[in-house]
Amino acid sequence: MRKKIALHWKIIIGMVLGVLYGLLASRLAWVEFTSDWIKPLGTIFVNLLKLIAVPLVFASLIKGVASLSDISKLSRIGGKTIAIYLISTVIAVSIGLILVNVVKPGDGFDKGSVSKTEQIEEGTNKKIAAAEEVKEEGPLQFLIDIVPTNIFESASNNRNMLQVIFFAILFGIAMVMLPNEKISHVKGFFNGINDIILQIVDMIMISAPYGVFALLAGLVVDFGASAELFIALAKYSATVIVGLLFMIFAVYPFILSVFTKVKYLDFFKGISPAQMLAFSTSSSAATLPVTMERCEEHIGVSEEVSSFVLPLGATINMDGTSLYQAVAAVFIAQAFSIDLDMGQQLTIVLTATLASIGAAAVPGAGMVMLVIVLGAIGVPTEGLALIFGVDRLLDMLRTVVNVTGDATVATVVASSEGQIREVAEEELMS
Ligand code: ASP
């Protein structure tokens, strides 16, 4: 019998071929052909993932909350989740700060090596303008933003995931409070929707190797020119990358080994397709349906936990983003020869934590929120131009960490609630 190739291998092959094709296409001047005929396939793939994100979060959260026997369990799981999310983010920022202060990638950095092309200038200005809008809001704006006035409007915009979560929890709680005979049809309806959407995730994942091929081919063709920039910024990029790798290979395995019985290798096998999608799409929100499916079916996290912890995590827990913001802020300060004292470093811990919570789970959002961190410590925002050219690659990597962090916390919460089942070897690999 022919042996089935595991999904993550197929995706890896798709990614490698995509990069190789992109390099070749840049050389052979197939850029237009790639933009016209290859890139759209990647866009369709990401659209499909985004398409099911809102219905999936909605149906699975309602199903999860409605199945709770008492609401106090929800507040316990919620409190625990938010506390662990905050702690992991603070750990990530601290690692970033320690690394950037030890390596000092910005000391003596030759700013002239990053020529300010029009594209960089324009991109930087856009990010600064987007951040200005965020800054003008009052201190309670984030609470106002969670409560929607029109759920259909919230559902139509991927950035409003917290509003969808809020409405789904409200809906689920009301279901728990009503007698069963009144809501049994609604319950059955959402259970059915949930199963259908998970089936759609499986169907979409069949095309994942082709999707990541197209995404990476398009990216390499677009960003081929930034290789020189990458070398100029190698020390900075390396500092961010070392920090991110440390999270994946040291911090999360440590957390899993202390708080759960799940072996890291099994966790890794289970979650790797979601990590690869995070890398290819640079968006935790687009990856969310796959993160949920992998956690439930391949790591064994109960649906009750994953349907609550993961959508929340995709929106508010961004360990990779916060680590990157700490490194980037200090790097820019060093490049501008600004000395940061202890108070300013602590401000970075606070603002990078908040900024990563506020960042939307879409490509490039972390850089917008970096403007706020820079503002808080008095470093010129024009400094963004220095790191703009390498941001996409770092975005891809930090999104992998964001998604892995969410999955780690889901596994920890599920273990502490006794809501994790053992998965068979075949389930891990499929
Ligand atoms: N792209 C990241 C995410 O979606 C956010 C960011 O750091 O830009 O998780």
The residues lining ligand 1, judged by C-beta closer than 6 Å to any ligand atom, are 282-284, 318, 321, 359, 361-366, 395, 398-399, 402
Instruction: Kindly give the distance from the C-alpha atom of residue 244 to the centroid of ligand 1, in angstroms, as a whole number.
Output: 13
Ligand 1: residue of 240, 319, 362, 394 to mutate (most ligand atoms within 8 A of CB) is 362
How many other CB atoms are there within 10 angstroms of residue 247's CB atom? Answer: 25
Instruction: Kindly give the distance from the C-alpha atom of residue 138 to the centroid of ligand 1, in angstroms, as a whole number.
Output: 24
- Element housing 169 (H / E): helix 161-177
Instruction: Kindly give the distance from the C-alpha atom of residue 283 to the centroid of ligand 1, in angstroms, as a whole number.
Output: 6
Instruction: Specify the length of the chain in residues.
Output: 430
Could you give the 3-state DSSP secondary structure of residue 115?
coil
Residue whose token pair is 């935790």: 284
Burial class (CB in 10 A: 0-12, 13-18, 19+), 111: middle
User: pLDDT truncated to tens, each residue of the chain (430 aa)?
Assistant: 455 678 888 999 999 999 899 989 888 888 889 989 999 999 999 999 989 888 888 888 888 888 776 778 888 999 999 999 999 999 999 999 999 999 999 887 777 766 666 677 778 888 888 777 776 677 777 788 889 999 888 888 766 788 888 999 899 889 988 998 999 999 999 989 989 998 999 999 999 999 999 999 998 887 765 566 677 789 999 999 999 999 999 999 999 999 999 999 999 999 999 999 999 999 999 999 999 999 999 999 998 899 989 999 998 999 999 999 999 999 999 999 999 999 999 999 999 999 888 888 889 889 988 998 999 999 998 888 889 888 989 999 999 999 999 999 999 999 999 989 887 766 666 6
* Residue 175, CA distances (Å) to 71, 183, 204, 349 in order: 11, 7, 31, 40
Instruction: Give the C-alpha separation, 359 to 236, whole Å.
Output: 22
Domain that holds residue 376: 2-429
Task: Identify the pLDDT of residue 1.
Answer: 45
3-state secondary structure 353-419: HHHHHHCCCCCCHHHHHHHHHHHHCCCCHHHHHHHHCCHHHHHHHHHHHHHHHHHHHHHHHHHHCCC
How many other CB atoms are there within 10 angstroms of residue 195's CB atom? Answer: 12
Burial class (CB in 10 A: 0-12, 13-18, 19+), 338: middle
Give the chain's largest Cα–Cα span.
Answer: 71
Could you give the 3-state DSSP secondary structure of residue 41?
helix
- Asked if residues 154 and 148 have their Cβ atoms less than 8 Å apart, the reply is yes
CATH number, domain of 33, equals: 1.10.3860
Task: Identify the pLDDT of residue 186.
Answer: 93
Which residues have C-beta within 8 Å of that of residue 345, sequence separation ≥ 6?
97, 101, 330
- Asked if residues 39 and 33 have their Cβ atoms less than 8 Å apart, the reply is no
Return the residue whose CA atom lies nearest to atom 1 of ligand 1.
Answer: 363
Strands (E), 299-349: none
Instruction: Kindly give the distance from the C-alpha atom of residue 367 to the centroid of ligand 1, in angstroms, as a whole number.
Output: 9
Could you give the 3-state DSSP secondary structure of residue 420?
strand
Instruction: Kindly give the distance from the C-alpha atom of residue 317 to the centroid of ligand 1, in angstroms, as a whole number.
Output: 10
Task: Identify the pLDDT of residue 430.
Answer: 63
Task: Identify the pLDDT of residue 73.
Answer: 83
3-state secondary structure 54-68: HHHHHHHHHHHHHCC
Instruction: Kindly give the distance from the C-alpha atom of residue 69 to the centroid of ligand 1, in angstroms, as a whole number.
Output: 35
Ligand 1: residue of 284, 317, 354 to mutate (most ligand atoms within 8 A of CB) is 284
Question: CA geometry: angle at 146 spanning 140 and 147, to 5°?
Answer: 100
Residue whose token pair is 């920090």: 243
Ligand 1: residue of 215, 318, 319, 370 to mutate (most ligand atoms within 8 A of CB) is 318
Return the residue whose CA atom lies nearest to atom 7 of ligand 1.
Answer: 366
How many CA atoms are closer than 13 Å to the CA of 74, on its beta-carbon side? 20
Domain total in the chain:
1
Instruction: Kindly give the distance from the C-alpha atom of residue 209 to the centroid of ligand 1, in angstroms, as a whole number.
Output: 22
* Residue 62, CA distances (Å) to 147, 243, 389 in order: 17, 37, 42
Instruction: Kindly give the distance from the C-alpha atom of residue 199 to the centroid of ligand 1, in angstroms, as a whole number.
Output: 26
Instruction: Give the C-alpha separation, 386 to 106, whole Å.
Output: 10
DSSP string, 262-304: --HHHHHHHHHHHHHHHHHH--HHHHHHHHHHHIIIII-B-HH
Instruction: Give the C-alpha separation, 221 to 423, whole Å.
Output: 40
Residue 2 per-residue DSSP state: P
Instruction: Give the C-alpha separation, 252 to 243, whole Å.
Output: 12
Ligand 1: residue of 134, 159, 402, 406 to mutate (most ligand atoms within 8 A of CB) is 402
